[in-house]
Amino acid sequence: MQQPRHRIRSHRRPIALAGATALVIAAMASASTTLPGAGRATAGPAATTQDSALAPCRISAAMGVQMSEGMPTPPGYARSTGEIRALNLLIDFPDAEATEPAADRFAEFFPQTSDWFATSSYGRLDYRPEAPVEEWLRMPMPFTEYGIERGSPFEPGYRQLVEDLVAAADPEVDFSAYDLVNVLVTPNAGPSALDTVLSVTFSGNSDAPHADGVPLSNTSFVYSRQDDGSGSYAQTGYRVLPHENGHVFGLPDLYTMEGGGSVGHWDIMSEDWGANNDVLGWHKWKLGWLDNEQISCASRPGTSEHTLGPLATAGGTKLAFVPLSAQSGYAVEVRTPAGNDEAVCRPGVLIYKVSSDVDTGQGPVSVADATQDSGGCTRRPNVHAELSDAPFRPGQTFTDRANGVRISVLDEDGSGNYRIRISRP
């Protein structure tokens, strides 16, 4: 049974400490010319339910699992393709008054967030941020009285905060016109993100307060600044918002209480500090950014060969999947330093296990490391080093003896496509 309310809280802290653009208070379209028309947007790849050849690879959502990796994405989340209107409300408090123009805070996240989604989705998500209230909205209570801390539940503090921001914005905002809400909090409210990350998303929340006849069921709150002191904040600080909005679209946290050790920097849902990164191919299929024709399902016993193109480029086969059960399997894709993947230092074939019966934040995805205990190939701040060289290269083989699965990388052609061989019982 899908949980009616999802509280996604961050345990993230930066892995290592190393040493704005113009505001558009209006709808903003990305530069892509291949955006689909509005009105046909859906949450997740609904078409996969009609493709019998892919059915074994379309692992199902497990009952009672919060933010399951299974397909399809259940109702209640924001649409993940087509035109998405994102309402941005900028708020401060009597005990934490904003010290900069609201336009400056908005410019920390846009148009960067829109561009990130356009690139990751191959233009299939037209993310349009709007800020109809151009000034800070002052909340009636001091920040401390809302009782907001890391891990705070929706009741009672966040409910009160949502009710207060609705009351403040409602004269100028038609909430029914938007698909999701971003609450951009003045950075001086609450602790530094270096100490405690408060940014949080409540998604699929049918119990949320209503405004203009709709529930504010998909709302992200962004606090402080994810500034590690390295001088890269202007380029990387916005990335907390694509992470939080990932929850609004139904994606789970891939980091665990121990940090990003199961996925590393291979998905923004694992690490959103540091250099730019993309999402996994499994997530792109789940969100409807990859077509069924771009998925190769290795469900039959025996040996099969598959050719995969780099995930960063549009078109062609992008993902091979080896189902192990109705709720788990191995995903195989090619990652290169292109698109949103800035930190890839060892291009190659990334192999990872997806488990739809594991809760958000508990490790629903685990990456196989082709070079275990190597220390990695990067020293970039806030990039998990050990898994940075996880991809498999030609001549290397991943083996799961317990399930009898072997995935071998055969060769790479001049266009960066990789040929792999999958053997399974």
What's the pLDDT tens digit per position in 300-336?
Answer: 999 999 999 999 999 999 999 999 999 999 999 999 9
Give pLDDT tens digits for 357-379.
Answer: 999 999 999 999 999 999 999 99
Inter-CA distances, 81 with 24, 75, 408, Å: 22, 14, 34
> Tens of pLDDT along 206-218?
899 999 999 999 9
Q: Which value, to the nearest 10 degrees, does the dihedral of the CA atoms of residues 192, 242, 112, 83 take?
A: -140
Of 93 and 150, which is predicted with more confidence? 93
User: CA 286, CA 144: separation in Å to the nearest integer?
Assistant: 39
Region 162-170 average pLDDT: 98
**Residue 261 pLDDT:** 85
What mean pLDDT comes out for the span 62-90? 96
Confidence bin at 50 (pLDDT 50/70/90):
low
**Res 230 pLDDT > 50:** yes
pTM: 0.89
Lowest mean pLDDT, pick from 79-88, 164-173, 180-189, 228-237: 228-237
Q: Are the C-beta atoms of residues 181 and 209 closer than 8 Å to each other? A: no
pLDDT tens digits, 113-161: 999 999 999 999 999 999 999 999 999 999 999 999 998 899 999 999 9
Kind plus residue range of the DSSP H or E element containing 181: strand 180-185
pLDDT for 256: 86
Best CA proximity match to 90, nearest among 187, 235, 155, 206? 187
Mean pLDDT score, 221-227: 94
Question: Which residues are bridge partners to 19 per DSSP?
Answer: none
Q: What is the pLDDT of residues 268-289, one digit of tens each?
A: 999 999 999 999 999 999 999 9
pLDDT at 409: 99
Domain residue spans of the chain: 6-41+74-248
Residue type, 252: P
Q: Radius of gyration of the chain from Cα atoms?
A: 21
Tokens at residue 273, please?
Answer: 């500090």
pLDDT at 225 over 50: yes
- Candidates 332, 323, 409, 318; CA nearest to 367 is 332
Looking at residue 260, its pLDDT comes to 66
| Average pLDDT score over residue span 41-46 | 46
What pLDDT does 359 receive?
A: 96
Would you state the pLDDT for residue 6? 44
In angstroms, the CA 254 to CA 260 distance is 7
- pLDDT confidence of residue 9: 41
Please say whether the beta carbons of 271 and 378 come within 8 A: no
Per-residue pLDDT at 45: 45
Q: For residue 227, what pLDDT is reported?
A: 86
Averaged pLDDT, 235-260: 92
Q: What CA–CA distance (Å, rounded) separates 57 from 327?
A: 9
Residue 232's pLDDT is 85
Query: Taking Cα atoms as reference points, which of 89, 271, 74 lies closest to residue 168?
Result: 89
pLDDT of 43 > 70? The answer is: no
Nearest to 223 by CA among 239, 208, 240: 240
Residue type, 237: G
Higher pLDDT, 190 or 230: 190
pLDDT at residue 211, rounded to an integer: 98
Q: What percent of the chain has pLDDT over 70?
A: 88
Percent over 90 (pLDDT), the chain: 81
End-to-end CA gap in the chain: 32
Q: Considering the chain, what is the average pLDDT of its residues? A: 89
Lowest-pLDDT range of 22-36, 88-102, 121-135: 22-36
